[in-house]
Amino acid sequence: MADLEIRERVPLAPFTTLGVGGEARWLVEGGDEATVAAACDWARTHGAPMLVLGGGSNVVISDAGVDALVLRIALRGIEVRETGRDTELIVAAGEPWDELVQMTVERSWAGFECLSGIPGLVGATPIQNVGAYGQEVAETVVAVRVLDTRDSRIRTFTSTDCRFGYRDSVFKSGEPHRYVVLAVTYRLRAGGAPTVRYADVERDLATRGIPRPSLDDVRRSIIAIRRSKSMVIDGGDPNRRSCGSFFVNPVVAAADAAGVAARAGSDRMPQWPERDGRVKLSAAWLIEHAGFHRGYAAGRAGLSSRHTLAIVAHDGATADDVVTLARRIQTDVEARFGVQLTPEPEYWETPKKFPARVS
């Protein structure tokens, strides 16, 4: 077992974008794969739960903290392979995601441009099947290298093995918390055209007078749109302490979507058909029409002044403030429309058993 530098009673709030929550009983910085495996072994040997922390942009940590070993991912490195017209990147889990996107855009490798401005680390992208503005990570993932917490062995998942779905994968819902992502292999299109599938992006490009956009043009549009919604990390933004979108857009049966529209009494309710015949609804629209407006305040937590999907922790806020508001939104949306909203961030409290949980 590799030597481990284990810190005790470490505050976790500074490692998250919400900036709330208590302490980790133990914390290890996982700067290489040997340390990650050793941390897993240590947790198993000591009968301690293990939680895996990435960029901290998709987690709400209990005010009581976690009586667990928190493994903070710090693996770095990017390997580039040219494969004909495509380019493969093998990227360590601790690489900052948006820096990777910027690099690929600068080198004219298409496939990530619409995923610009998203906070967090590479390791989280296959877990959540990160997506935005018409692109999903699933479109580019070739393989995911993981450590299995059951036996500390390293495995490789193909894209098919990952069982990607809307904001979902085998790592999230198939066998949640079992695997620690170590590296991801992506395949991008060298010299490929940018993806432009969303009206917001088309409008921004048209406003800027760009009929045939480059990858960089699309990246700039995406970041500008996200910034207008306080969906990028900006130290001067009063909405900065959030997890971004707190709820995923619900996907329901077509008949249920019709029922929601009837309850809403509106023929303008946003909805998008899915390939499987179901319908995706707008969580933001449902929240707004359940009575929660932009800037809505509930004590020390509230909604972003620019987007109703983002719950914001104001000065003095606690994790309990955030969770209480989230539950109230869920309750009122379900009462008004019969739709259950699913939180996107994971809530951390002391686990009852060993398997790792990743955020």
- Catalytic sites, residue numbers: 167, 245, 344
Encode the chain in three state secondary structure.
CCCCCCEEEEECHHHCCCCCCCEEEEEEEECCHHHHHHHHHHHHHCCCCEEEECCCCCEEECCCCEEEEEEEECCCCEEEEEECCEEEEEEECCCEHHHHHHHHHHCCEECCHHHCCCCCECCHHHHHCCEECCEEHHHCEEEEEEEECCCCEEEEEECCCCCCECCECHHHHHCCCCEEEEEEEEEEEECCCCCCCCHHHHHHHHHCCCCCCCHHHHHHHHHHHHHHCCCCCCCCCCCCCECCCCECCCEECHHHHHHHHHHHCCCCCCEEECCCCCEEECHHHHHHHCCCCCCCEECCEEECCCCCCCEEECCCCCHHHHHHHHHHHHHHHHHHHCCCCCECCEEECCCCCCCCEEC
